[in-house]
Structure 1
Amino acid sequence: MDFKDIVLTVGLILIIIIVNKFFPLNKLSLKKYLGYINMNENMIKDYIKRELKVIKDRKRYFDNIRVLFDLSKKNKYTIDNQTWDDLIMNDIFTEIDRTYSSAGEAVLYTILRNPMMDEDKINKRGNLINLFKKDLNLTIKLRCIFFKLGFDNKNRLIETINGLLSVNKTKFYIYSFLGILPIILILSAILFRQAYFMAILLFYVSVIVEVHNKETANIKALGLIYLRDLITGAKNLTKIKNDELKPYIEEIKVLLNQLKDIDKATFLLKVLNSFGGLLEMFAIPFLIEESTYYRISGKLIEKKDIILRLYYLVGELDALSSISIYEECNKENCSSPKFVAETSLKIRDGIHPLLKNPIENSIEIYNNGIVLTGTNMSGKSTFLRMISTNILLAQTFNFVLAKEYEASFFNVVSSISPKDDITNGKSFYLAEAESILRIIEALKDTIPVFCPIDEIFRGTNPIERISSSAGILKYINNKGKSICIVATHDKELSDILKGNYDFYYFSENVDDKNGLSFDYKIKKGISKTRNAIKILDYIGYPKEIIEDSYKIIENIQGYI
């Protein structure tokens, strides 16, 4: 072995030892990556076909999923945080989500939070979903593309272009120069046959590793890698021939043409981060990521809106194909909504998507709102959520989980009991008063408001609770362009609200033979029973407490 070979070998070993000390190769990630790249096209298609009817059981990081929504413009019909939480929409999102990419996941979330009030737009989206249901080959082609795009679980791409970019041309020039120093040092050692050049190289690599560590937060390399994956996925989408997808394809082509420079620059980063990070080790001494990042950071800022639009278009196709699969898997429970001009709501055999063995319920609401009474755990809150969820599904994806749905467009604003008695440092009553005020403010718009309210003002004394509740509910109903369903235990509201509201209830059975049981079916009228003490008796409270409780009720209200 001559001196040249010795120098090259020693240089390579030094670089690997130093860099690997700080960035050890992740064997598991490498094995996983190699497993993916060894999957040929047919294997991927077979996998996707098998997965079509499988719920995607993966952990979802909603703080990252919602980043695109947080960046997007809101309108007056956007589902606010309280309504989203009231309707347990994160769980519903998880149930209906069949996406294969971060872009699809983010867009699916964004669509769900922005119900539409335009029938033509809803029908157009519904037609695309129907296309994916009918043309399985097209759907599988699309999902192969989204499968390869995959997930950036921390949504670093959105984070990277969301005002966190550092533009510094000076660093670009410095890092570009420093990046060629290892080559100069190795060549110098070969030409001049001096070993001290390798000592300088050793010191240089140690310093560069520190530089790399400090720059990691700025570079957001994985976000740029996902941008490269996004561009590759978008290019693959443009190869699909379908007349109904043509508007998407044509716009994607225009956007890709505007991102040519970024396309070329990100290609090298993608290569370097392949094979579980193996090549990235060799990139660090040459500051390739750093120089590439600072070279294109200005262009990323300049073309932020173009990147976001491309991200949304790709994600929208993933989201809509995902919904088509959910619908197909639940086709026996799904139907298309019918929208009418009159403020009304009709649902026949509606169900809630999270229930494994759902009980169907039907309701027709025209001129009056509804007061919903009934005992604990009998199904009132689930019914409120079932109606609300189907409204959102109708106005976002043009399907409902019901045999029939006919309604006007609604702005959904809810007030369902908070989880805690203290909310963000406020008393329960104050938090709920502010919550109800959101509904009253929404009534000012021309779009009807659907407002489910659960246990209104339960945090205050009975006299003020009933009087204020009655006043508010009359006000909401008399506005004409709203449908309010209020679940309550206050039977006194029934007498006060006659003529303004219709009355329905849920009930239960408690007996020694069958124990506690519910049919979860809504019934016309007012509940005549209470079950709180019965439940205490059923689960084993001392008989002394049960008997004393009934006597107190008899003395206070003449209940028995």
Structure 2
Amino acid sequence: MIINTSKDFIKRDLNSTKDRKRNFNKINTLYQLSEKNEFTIDDQTWDDLIMNEVFYELDRTYSTEGEAALYKMLRNPIMDEEKLKQRGKLIDLFKDDLDLTVDLRRILYNMIYDSKNKLLDMLNDLLPVSKLKSYIYSIAGIIPILLILAAIIFKEPNFMIALMVDMFINMYIHNKEESSINAIGLVYLRDLINASNQLSHIKNDELKLYTTKMKTLLNELSSIDKSTYLIKVLHSFGGILEMFSIPFLIEESTFYRMSIKLVKKKEKILELYYLVGELDALISIALYENNNEEKYCIPKFIKENSLKITDGIHPLIKNPVANSLEISKKGIVLTGTNMSGKSTFLRMISTNILLAQTFNFALAHEYKGCFLNLISSISPKDDITSGKSYYLAEAESILRIIKASEKGIPVFSSIDEIFRGTNPAERISSSAEILNYINKRGAICIVATHDRELSDILKENYDFYYFSEDVDNKNGLKFDYKLKKGISKTRNAIKLLDYIGYPKEIVLNSYRRVERMEEFI
């Protein structure tokens, strides 16, 4: 492919966000095809941290491969400081060497955006390997040519009738095979190989690991590269040539001939796909850092089982209030009223841990901590289809944290409103036992709760912090979103009812009922 995008355009586009619709069922295909490990971010934690939205914020990739690689990298934190530093060096390279970044982005920009994920779908599906069909369709594709030649040479009309019948049969075969073959996937494969070839010729010592590996993979895929050329040509010019190829079964014979090779080379193709995508993803992070230069720091990783974040912020908050936290041997119980910032704080800490362990940066003035296995239970849901209640869903969610803490690997767990779906006595008792159990096994745990009764039970293993607010009829809700040491002494649920206009009878009787209930606590 000839690079025709101007450098000036690419330079102007460096600081822009990519405002496009994203289909995460497609974006996560590469991740789904890849091996998982004990540190892979599970679906519950990913959803708890609203990581699809964070992905939107980080993503400045041009290619489908870049999107897929960025997603996969975020789902698979690195637990090796040297590997993280190496990734960080490449991000710094793309920030510092503008000419290199522009050259790479030009190649990536000119790749065909595979919005329907045809290439990975082709590799993911059970490829219809059939040598017999390959032979049959190759022969069937030659027959129309022979009939045309025979009609010309012998000037016999019956050959033309036979040609019409044969073309009708071949069109029937084409329509029948249309759902089985994925010729468009081959077009995108050709594009991937072309882009990889261009990227492999980029001259830069720090990219040699990538360029050398690409050249090796391209050499191993050379036979596939040649076979995709014809399909690429057929799908050029708006697909006009494809129509003329149908009577000769060119797509069918080529696809079945290639499918044998694709099965053998599937892992090599996926490796090349990820390699190209990883470069695009790292450039995307470099551009994100450039746009947030005053907001991030390089994390410092230590052996001690602890975590310190100074002035941390969440990437999705436009006007964030920074908060700091230091955790060592004790966990944290977080109290506070509704909407005061507890859940956002949990997500801020967890998201920064993930960013630190995937791309070697954190949105804070300082980040210092050990490597952590990130598992959360912030928003488990009822599962109506399986008949699971909210309580059972939450119990299973927290069991993930317990099991992970038993493996001897430091776990960071954020829990929001533990066992909110059951009665107070059982909730407080089971919560206290679970939180002490997790803490004794070296996990760093932050739990947000309204149960102030946990303070006496957990004081040996947990420190206490809270968020607060003020509610009045004149000024409404006022939150400072600042973390404070201690236990929240206020509630605002009834105040909120009053503020939004509930009948005074309900409000006053609610206050009286709370006072009577508190006498027995």
Distance 1:484 1:176 in 2: 64
Match of 2:476 in 1: 515
Q: In the TM superposition, what is the alpha-carbon distance from 1:200 to its structure 2 partner?
A: 3.8
Give the counterpart of 1:354 among 316, 330, 344. 316
Match of 1:401 in 2: 363
Q: What's the secondary structure of 1:378's corresponding residue?
A: coil
Distance 2:386 2:415 in 1: 20
Q: What's the secondary structure of 1:363's corresponding residue?
A: strand
Q: What's the secondary structure of 1:180's corresponding residue?
A: helix
Residue type of the alignment partner of 2:89: N
Q: Does 1:381 align with 2:349?
A: no
Match of 1:107 in 2: 69
Match of 2:465 in 1: 504
What is the correspondence of 1:476-495 to structure 2 with a 5 Å cutoff? 476-479=438-441, 481-495=442-456
Q: In the TM superposition, what is the alpha-carbon distance from 1:322 to its structure 2 partner?
A: 1.1
Give the counterpart of 1:364 among 303, 326, 331. 326
Residue type of the alignment partner of 1:551: R
Q: What's the secondary structure of 1:269's corresponding residue?
A: helix
Residue type of the alignment partner of 1:512: N
Deviates more, 1:256-265 or 1:48-57: 48-57
Q: 1:423 touches 1:431 (CA, 8 Å); kept in 2?
A: no
Match of 1:341 in 2: 303
Q: What's the secondary structure of 1:414's corresponding residue?
A: strand
Deviation by residue 1:275-324 (Cα, 9 ceiling, x = unmatched): 22222111211111111111111111111111111111111111111111
Match of 1:209 in 2: 171
Q: 2:382 touches 2:388 (CA, 8 Å); kept in 1?
A: no
Match of 2:352 in 1: 390
What is the correspondence of 1:206-245 to structure 2 with a 5 Å cutoff? 206-245=168-207
Deviation by residue 1:451-508 (Cα, 9 ceiling, x = unmatched): 00000000110000001101111111122x2110000001101121112111111111
Match of 1:141 in 2: 103
Q: Does 1:68 align with 2:44?
A: no
Distance 1:386 1:358 in 2: 10
Q: Does 1:413 align with 2:405?
A: no
Q: What's the secondary structure of 1:491's corresponding residue?
A: coil
Q: Does 1:537 align with 2:498?
A: yes
Q: What's the secondary structure of 1:376's corresponding residue?
A: coil
Distance 2:369 2:414 in 1: 16
Q: 1:422 touches 1:428 (CA, 8 Å); kept in 2?
A: no
Residue type of the alignment partner of 1:314: V
Distance 1:43 1:258 in 2: 30
Give the counterpart of 1:174 among 99, 113, 136. 136
Match of 2:213 in 1: 251
Q: In the TM superposition, what is the alpha-carbon distance from 1:419 to its structure 2 partner?
A: 4.1
Q: 2:119 touches 2:184 (CA, 8 Å); kept in 1?
A: yes
Distance 1:271 1:418, change over 3 A: same
Distance 1:537 1:418, change over 3 A: same
Q: 1:417 touches 1:455 (CA, 8 Å); kept in 2?
A: no
Deviates more, 1:431-440 or 1:452-461: 431-440
Q: What's the secondary structure of 1:503's corresponding residue?
A: strand
Q: In the TM superposition, what is the alpha-carbon distance from 1:111 to its structure 2 partner?
A: 0.8
Q: 2:381 touches 2:394 (CA, 8 Å); kept in 1?
A: no
Q: In the TM superposition, what is the alpha-carbon distance from 1:338 to its structure 2 partner?
A: 0.5
Match of 1:311 in 2: 273
Distance 1:376 1:395 in 2: 31
Distance 1:276 1:163 in 2: 26
Q: What's the secondary structure of 1:371's corresponding residue?
A: strand
Distance 1:423 1:194, change over 3 A: closer
Q: Does 1:321 align with 2:270?
A: no
Q: In the TM superposition, what is the alpha-carbon distance from 1:162 to its structure 2 partner?
A: 3.0
Distance 1:150 1:527 in 2: 55
Q: In the TM superposition, what is the alpha-carbon distance from 1:373 to its structure 2 partner?
A: 0.4
Distance 1:446 1:273 in 2: 55
Residue type of the alignment partner of 1:286: F
| TM-score, normalised relative to structure 1 | 0.90
Deviates more, 1:42-51 or 1:407-416: 42-51
Residue type of the alignment partner of 2:378: I
Runs of 4+ in 1 over 6 A off after TM superposition: none
Match of 2:243 in 1: 281
Deviation by residue 1:376-431 (Cα, 9 ceiling, x = unmatched): 11110010000000000000000111111111110001111224475842111111
Deviation by residue 1:111-169 (Cα, 9 ceiling, x = unmatched): 11111111000000110111011111111111111112232223222222235111211
Any stretches of 5+ residues in structure 1 without a counterpart?
1-36
| TM-score, normalised relative to structure 2 | 0.96
Q: What's the secondary structure of 1:486's corresponding residue?
A: strand
Residue type of the alignment partner of 2:216: V
Q: 2:3 touches 2:107 (CA, 8 Å); kept in 1?
A: no
Deviation by residue 1:83-123 (Cα, 9 ceiling, x = unmatched): 11111111111210111111111111111111111100000
Match of 1:96 in 2: 58
Any stretches of 5+ residues in structure 2 without a counterpart?
none
Q: 1:359 touches 1:521 (CA, 8 Å); kept in 2?
A: yes
Residue type of the alignment partner of 1:107: A
Residue type of the alignment partner of 1:543: K
Residue type of the alignment partner of 1:429: Y
Distance 1:277 1:350 in 2: 52
Q: In the TM superposition, what is the alpha-carbon distance from 1:48 to its structure 2 partner?
A: 2.3
Q: What's the secondary structure of 1:325's corresponding residue?
A: helix
Match of 2:260 in 1: 298
Q: In the TM superposition, what is the alpha-carbon distance from 1:195 to its structure 2 partner?
A: 4.7
Q: What's the secondary structure of 1:70's corresponding residue?
A: helix
Distance 1:211 1:57, change over 3 A: same
Match of 1:550 in 2: 511
Residue type of the alignment partner of 1:349: D
Match of 1:31 in 2: none
Between the two proteins, the alignment pairs up a number of residues equal to 520
Distance 1:65 1:316 in 2: 14
Distance 2:507 2:158 in 1: 91
Distance 1:440 1:405 in 2: 26
Distance 1:42 1:308, change over 3 A: closer
Q: What's the secondary structure of 2:471's corresponding residue?
A: strand
Q: In the TM superposition, what is the alpha-carbon distance from 1:203 to its structure 2 partner?
A: 3.5
Distance 1:137 1:446 in 2: 46
What is the correspondence of 1:417-428 to structure 2 with a 5 Å cutoff? 417-420=379-382, 424-428=386-390
CA RMSD after TM alignment: 1.7
Residue type of the alignment partner of 2:316: L
Residue type of the alignment partner of 1:361: N
Deviation by residue 1:331-362 (Cα, 9 ceiling, x = unmatched): 11111101011111111111111111111111
Residue type of the alignment partner of 2:449: T
Q: What's the secondary structure of 2:178's corresponding residue?
A: helix
Deviates more, 1:160-169 or 1:105-114: 160-169
Distance 2:475 2:157 in 1: 90
Distance 2:183 2:64 in 1: 16
Distance 2:203 2:235 in 1: 32
Percent of aligned positions with the same letter in both sequences? Answer: 65
Give the counterpart of 2:436 among 468, 474, 477. 474
